[in-house]
Amino acid sequence: MPKFSANLSMLFTELPFLDRFEAAAKADFKAVEFLFPYAYPVKEIRHRLDDNGLRLVLHNLPAGDWDAGERGMACDPARTEEFRSGIAQAMDYALALGVPQINCLAGKAPAGVAPQALREAFVSNLSRAAAAFKPAGLRLLIEPINTYDIPGFYLSRTDQALAILDAVGADNAFVQYDIYHAQRVEGELAATLQKNLSRIAHIQLADNPGRNEPGTGEINWPFLFAHLDRIGYEGWIGCEYKPASTTLAGLPWRQRLVGP
C-alpha cells in the first residue's frame, strides 16, 4: 500500500507555513516534506512535527535565491564554495529533525560554461556531500526536473542521473524520481521504476498536464500504484502537486485511485 507524504511547499498553501503541519495531520498524512527549512528555527519545526505526530521525510540542500528564480547551484563551477557551505547547514537541520535523506537540486546550467565543466562540478559537489552525509547515516538524492517547467535545468533525465551517480560512486546517493517530471521528459514510468528501483530512494507525484492532483490528467494512477506495490517499493511518495482548487477538496483521490 503506498505511503503518501504531504509536500508542504505545495499543499495547504492558503495557510502560513508552520500551520500546514497541523493541517496535514488532520488530513490523515503521517509524514511531510518540503523544499527548504532554513527560514525557520529548527526547534520550531521540530515542535510542529512532534505536536502533530508527523515524520519529516525529505528536504533540500540550500539552492540559492529561490525567489529570484535560482533552482540550485550544484552544477555551477563558480559556486562550489557556496554549495559546500550549505552541506553543513543542511546536515544540522536534517539531524535535528530526523530527516533520513536530503535532495540536491542541480540548478540551471550557467551560460557559457562547457558541458564537461558542468558535469565535473556536479560530480565533485555530490561526492563531497555524499561523503559528509555518510557518517551521519544520511542519503543524498538528485532529482531530474523537466526543462519545460525550468528551462536550462541541468539534470533532466533518469539515465543522466544514473550516469552521474555512477561517476560519484557513493553507496548513499540515489535518485529522487518525480513522476510528473519524468512523464513530461521521457515517459516509460512503469518500466523505468522497475528497472531502477534499487537506485530510487524517494518518489514524488503530480498528474500531467497541469501538475495537479492525481486523476486530473493522463497518468494511469491505479495501475502505477499497484505496480509500485508489485515491484516492492517501500518508500514514501511525496504529494508535490498544485491542487486544482483547494488541497482538501482534491484529497479524495487517495481513496479513489489507490484501491482497496
Contacts of 141 (CB under 8 A, 6+ apart): 58, 101, 102, 103, 104, 173, 174, 175, 176, 201, 202
User: d(Cα 78, Cα 35) in Å, to the nearest integer?
Assistant: 23
Range of the domain at 115: 3-258
Cell, residue 159: 539515465
We report the CATH number of the domain holding residue 214 as: 3.20.20.150
Residue 117, all three cell numbers: 565543466
- Tell me how many domains the chain contains: 1
Number of helices followed by number of strands (H, E) in the chain:
10, 8
**Residues recognised as catalytic:** 143, 240
Residue-wise pLDDT for 147-182, tens only, equals 999 999 999 999 999 999 999 999 999 999 999 999
pTM for this one?
Answer: 0.96
Q: What is the mean pLDDT of the chain?
A: 97
* 96-111 per-position pLDDT tens digit: 999 999 999 999 999 9
- Do residues 87 and 124 lie in contact, with contact meaning Cβ atoms separated by under 8 Å? no
C-alpha 156, offset from chain centre: 14
